[in-house]
Amino acid sequence: MVRKKNRKFPAVVLAGMTIMAVGCQNGGTESAGTQGTGTTSEREFLSEPLVEDIYTADPSAHVFDGKIYIYPSHDIDAGVPEKDDGSHFDMRDYHVYSMDEVGGEVTDHGVALDIKDIPWAGRQLWAPDAAHKNGTYYLYFPVKDKQDIFMIGVATSSSPAGPFKPQPEPIANSFSIDPAVYKDGDGEYYMYFGGIWGGQLQRWTTGSYTQEDSYPADDQPAVMPKVARLSDDMLSFAEAPKDVQLLDENGKPLLTADSARRFFEAAWVHKYNDKYYFSYSTGDTHRIVYAVGDNPYGPFTYQGVVLEPVLGWTNHHSIIEKDGKWYLFYHDTQLSGGVTHLRNIKVTELNHRADGSIETVDAYFGD
């Protein structure tokens, strides 16, 4: 595990943490726009924030050139009222961070991409990811266009730290949020994406965008995330996006009513012992869970929980291997004392058991 002690916080933060701890003790499942699962002031956090001078979230971590690079969202208090559609998550730029090893010094490489430099962007620069191929680094990002529809863009750089130059248009046939790019052993790259509720994935169930939310009935297969193989130039899809099938233990698709296991957002893929692990957030049930399959397209069979609920409503992660150890990057709201849209990134060790299953991580020490 990664644990740093004796971290000092400003008095205003400590006051906020006390207030939020009292206000969040009920825990459990809550509707979007509320304060999330919460904690009590007696519980000790498993790990401490990696960045303290600004708010960061949704950490996509990668090992490039022997170093760990982290591509998070940059939370700000934009003064936008809290709404179920996530309008208060009004991020406007990205910073890139790096460290030689987990537990080492974290370097802020500054602003890597600003929304004002994206010609087609409207608002809300949400969770990004990055990839590397043939000396070029690619930053994939979701942002609402000028019609307020989430699309996925791509920007390039000769350095993993950026700055990144965006393409003039979003990726054709892209939509929704949370791009996550996985490089397979054969050199092919796949993008996984999508998020329901504020992520708008439920507005694409007919194949084209509609202003109305459309969810399957409770006893029908849930809205599934998407996957598309990337083209050789990494700037477009080589194929039409298709559903990622998430199955239960009986080989049946997870159902809409199964909110403890169905997909909400925050897809990520890693490979362990020749198996593909598709992990994701369950959203309103506040967990990171995972499913396992035999190829990057799936289907993936549900296995269990990666990360139990954290302080805050959202849960978004990445999983990497470095020097023979596996690490889970995630976020919570420790720095802001539980303010939903002001989060901080963290990291802890992740363990696979002998049978390949993942040991569930609790964001706190003890009970």
Active site residues: 58, 265
CB 102 within 8 A of CB 92: no
203 DSSP assignment: G
Nearest of 233, 71, 75 to residue 162 by alpha carbon: 71
- Kindly state the greatest CA–CA separation across the chain: 53
- Identity (one letter) of the amino acid at 33? G
**For residues 179 and 153, is the Cβ–Cβ distance under 8 A?**
no
Side chain identity at 12, as an amino acid letter?
Answer: V
Angle at 50 between CA 44 and CA 56, to 5 degrees: 105
Instruction: Give the CB-side neighbour count of residue 288, counting CA atoms within 13 A.
Output: 29
Contact 333, 75 (CB under 8 A): no
Compute the distance between CA of residue 199 and CA of residue 176 in angstroms, rounded to an integer: 5
